[in-house]
Structure 1
Amino acid sequence: MWSRAAPCIVCGANRPDMMLVQIIEVGSGPGWGHYACPEPCAQQYASRTYAPEWLRSDLRERGLWPVSS
């Protein structure tokens, strides 16, 4: 597995269990990804209107979606 140098886009932490929350596509070459801590940061990100639907599906598979209050 390759290492990610990018910190969580919500809290700034750099944990080994980070998960992909957004893929940035560019037309001129490879894009990049944004990562977040699964709980609670990815959960917070998934509730945003621009979050991809696959993020909610990934969180659901981990038992982290929907967020219980």
Structure 2
Amino acid sequence: MRQQKAERLLQRLHSAKPARKQDREYQYWQEGVQAKLILNEAMMREKLDYIHANPVKRGYVKLPRHWSYSSAAN
């Protein structure tokens, strides 16, 4: 059972790899995700607000601070 799950996961990761990527067999990270340099406090707040709002946008909670895995309550 465990071996089958591992094989299915590898198949999904293999199918997620764009055909043009010849340097790898699998794709784990989402295409286009890149680190961004945080230049100031305002930019940091903007990014935090965006992250905190994600569970609300998905309908998991009504307020960011209600998401148990969030730092929004801090």
State the TM-score, normalized to the length of structure 1: 0.27
**Does 1 or 2 have the higher relative contact order (CA < 8 Å, sep 6+)?**
1
Which one has a larger percent strand, Structure 1 or Structure 2?
A: 1
**Rg larger for:** 2
Which one has a larger percent helix, Structure 1 or Structure 2?
A: 2
State the TM-score, normalized to the length of structure 2: 0.26
